[in-house]
């Protein structure tokens, strides 16, 4: 069992996950940067370090957790609450576990998506967790706003790739976090380089993107993850690389990122100062933020 740490989120009477010490969002304004890969491997790295961890697939339109964790079962329910599925020591929940046809499109408007997300937080028996990692969809839409409104989160991990075309969208997510009072825990740069069999590194997608985002966000660069064929191979097989090949370069990178995240959450600047957020939604269900 992990040692207790000082909580970095204020757990109010209406918090949907009061037994969870840290709620960590993994997000990016850009699709295709490997956000789900980072979320799954980060959660596993935390679990392998002895922490109690849950992983919630908050990407309602494109759930990836069932494939990446190799889980095809259905969660059970007593009509009041839902039991999460488990694999590799992680508690798991995804809309993908509830679909009759995994290839069918989910055509939902905002209120339906909002309701499902709140139910996955409030009605799932997460139990006592040190970390609940949420894999968010790309962009700055309904899911991120719902979470900012309903949950006091510990902070967000921003995922990017080095190239400029990704940075423009990632900066938008950084801006959104600042506006709604979500603390930036750090930046993960994925697909940083490819290393050949002779040890030469090739920055295929450029260099310095993660550092630029970190500097703009005033947050640390938690780590860089190299391009490594095994990440894709093991992910498609339902065994993330941290579990399948813990001594490999990408697995070691994810482990170092998890260690940096734990240190960051336990640091003296754990709270977000200067922001007052009305989490009730107000009369018009908006998200006013005042300084």
pLDDT in tens, 161-202: 988 877 878 888 888 888 888 899 999 999 998 988 888 999
Tokens 């494109």 belong to which residue? Answer: 62
Higher-pLDDT residue of 288 and 12 is: 12
- Spatial CA neighbour of 95 closest among 7, 205, 160, 107: 107
Distance of CA 159 to the CA centre of its chain: 9
Domains of the chain in start order, with CATH, are 20-290 (3.40.50.300)
- Spatial CA neighbour of 91 closest among 49, 54, 50, 120: 54
Band (pLDDT 50/70/90 cuts) for residue 275 is very low
Integer Cα distance of 291 and 288 in angstroms: 10
pTM reported for the whole predicted model: 0.85
Higher-pLDDT residue of 269 and 219 is: 219
Residues 106-130 have a mean pLDDT of 78
pLDDT score for 277? 46
Average pLDDT, the chain: 83
Higher-pLDDT residue of 166 and 93 is: 93
- Spatial CA neighbour of 88 closest among 120, 55, 59, 63: 55
Residue 254 near residue 42 (C-beta atoms within 8 A): yes
Band (pLDDT 50/70/90 cuts) for residue 68 is very high
Residue 262 near residue 46 (C-beta atoms within 8 A): yes
List alpha helices for the chain, DSSP H.
35-48, 65-68, 110-122, 142-150, 164-180, 209-217, 229-236, 241-244, 249-265
Residues 35-58 have a mean pLDDT of 95
Please list, in sequence order, all residues whose beta carbon lies within 8 angstroms of the beta carbon of residue 4, skipping any fewer than 6 positions away. Answer: 21
Least confident window among 28-42, 140-154, 188-202, 228-242:
140-154
Residue 130: Cβ within 10 Å count: 22
pLDDT in tens, 222-269: 999 999 888 989 998 999 999 999 999 999 999 999 999 999 998 545
């Amino acid at each position: 069992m992990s040692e207790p740490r000082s909580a970095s989120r204020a757990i109010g009477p209406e918090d949907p996950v009061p037994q969870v010490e840290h709620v960590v969002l993994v997000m990016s304004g850009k699709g295709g940067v490997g956000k789900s890969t980072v979320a799954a491997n980060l959660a596993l790295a935390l679990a392998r370090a002895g922490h109690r961890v849950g992983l919630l697939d908050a990407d309602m339109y494109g759930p990836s957790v069932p494939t990446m964790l190799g889980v095809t079962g259905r969660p059970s329910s007593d009509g009041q609450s839902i039991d999460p599925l488990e694999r590799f020591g992680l508690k798991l929940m995804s809309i993908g576990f509830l679909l009759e046809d995994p290839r069918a499109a989910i055509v939902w408007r905002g209120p339906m998506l909002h309701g499902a997300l709140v139910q996955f937080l409030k009605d799932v028996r997460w139990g006592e967790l040190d970390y609940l990692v949420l894999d968010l969809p790309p962009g700055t839409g309904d899911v991120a706003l719902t979470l900012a409104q309903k949950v006091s989160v510990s902070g967000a991990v921003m995922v990017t790739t080095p190239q400029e075309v990704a940075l423009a969208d990632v900066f938008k997510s950084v801006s959104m976090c600042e506006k709604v009072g979500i603390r930036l825990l750090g930046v993960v740069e994925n697909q940083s380089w490819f290393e050949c069999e002779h040890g030469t590194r090739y920055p295929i997608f450029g260099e310095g993107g993660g550092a630029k985002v970190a500097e703009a966000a005033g947050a640390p660069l938690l780590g860089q993850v190299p391009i490594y064929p095994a990440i894709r191979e093991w992910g498609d097989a339902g065994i993330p690389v941290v579990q399948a090949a813990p001594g490999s370069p990408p697995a070691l990178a994810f482990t170092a990122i998890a260690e940096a995240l734990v240190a960051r959450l336990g640091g003296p600047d754990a709270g977000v100062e200067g922001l007052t957020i009305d989490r009730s939604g107000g009369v018009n269900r908006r998200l006013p933020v005042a300084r």
